[in-house]
Homo-oligomer: A and B are copies of this chain.
Amino acid sequence: MNRSFASDNNAPVAPEILKAIAAANKVDAPAYGSDEWTARAKQRFRDQFGPETDAYFGFNGTGANVAVLASLLRPWEAVLCPESAHLQTDECGAFERFSGSKVIPIPTQDGKLRPADLEPYLKPVDVHFPQPRIVSISQATEYGGVYELNELRALCGYAHERGLYVHVDGARLSNAAAALGVSLKVMTAGIDLLSFGGTKNGLMYGEAFCFLKPALGGTTAPFVQKQAMQLASKMRYIAAQFDALLTRDLWKRYAGRANAMTKRLEERVRAIDGIRITRPVRCNAIFATMDRSAIERAQRDYAFLVWDERLPEVRWMTHWATTEDDVDAFAAALERAVFPK
């Protein structure tokens, strides 16, 4: 199979991660997180996100989002999110089914929520409508965009003044931090709840859900983790991966590489007439339109998504293992697809 440009979850596991798993495999260890790897990985989260961070590990992104939101919400409380949010469009209603709460999707131009978008949904308390309690945003966004730090600050300020928590779906937080050139801590200043992605940044499996401020999840999160089927018996193997990822800035190396490869692809593609990039390129995704027949030709050799059938608009993603040669070969294939002989 050629390098996939379909998704960063098509990537293999990074070698340092696999090594960390093997290193955790030498002895017996207690189950359900009472092991030394879990303790160490939790400490890494405190190191990277601040000393009050309370991190839990789950299996996948949907699980992490559900668990962190349901740890805080009562079933008559609601989550406000962009209508493009993974939570709204790609989790098959897992959150609603598990929590009983309502997700209220808000239309946006670019997948980013701004204070003015929230305002119409914030009304006086009334039993007839679920009470908004959490604002959930994706950083990076599902369109490959990023919130600038001042945008995050403005949104958090607005939300906190109105008694709302801010959750970041950070399935690609590393990519956003690498794009902005800031630490994870700076990236998440002011944020209350975080889903931190591992699988899309070199891990085999494992996502973290984090309470970044004291007393947010302490008494409820362990039960929610268990009920949400996210409590691994052999927890050490998730923990060991995160321990490695958050050591010596591996997260930044992987995400930086993914971003750089997308940047390279962007340059190549901008030179091709017949391909139009449709959204700002900030992280590891490019959205573009091209002829339907060109798409079909390109897909004969390379896997990538048709994001919006109607335009048609495609999405190309790179990941930690994408190489310069991969990018160049893919760009050449795209060019051939657009201008077949």
Contact = CB atoms under 8 A, between A and B. Distances in A.
Contact of A225 (B127, B129, B131, B226): B127
Contacts of A227: 75-76, 92-94, 97-98, 100
A42 interface: no
Given A3-B28, A10-B28, A101-B96, A89 B129 contact: yes
A134 B2 CA distance: 41
B127 A222 contact: yes
Interface in A1-56: 1-4, 6-7, 9-13, 18, 21-22, 25-32
B205 A234 contact: yes
A29 B1 contact: yes
Contacts of A225: 127
Contact of A74 (B58, B128, B204, B220): B220
A230 to B, nearest CB: 7
A141 to B, nearest CB: 17
A97 B94 contact: no
Contacts of A30: 4, 6, 10, 303
Residue with the highest number of chain B CB atoms closer than 10 Å, among A32, A60, A96, A105: A96
Give the oligomeric copy count.
4
Interface stretch (A61-69, A255-263, A281-289): A61-69
A1 B28 contact: yes
Contacts of A232: 59-60, 205
A228 B229 contact: yes
A96 B76 CA distance: 10
B29 A25 contact: no
Contact of A224 (B26, B76, B230): B76
B93 A78 contact: yes
Contacts of A226: 62, 76, 91-92, 94, 127-128
Given A97-B98, A130-B92, A31 B60 contact: no
A80 interface: no
A139 interface: no
A312 interface: no
Given A7-B31, A28-B303, 12 more contacts: A1-B28, A4-B28, A9-B234, A76-B92, A76-B93, A91-B226, A92-B128, A96-B96, A107-B107, A127-B231, A199-B234, A229-B229
5 contacts: A2-B28, A4-B30, A6-B30, A59-B59, A91-B226
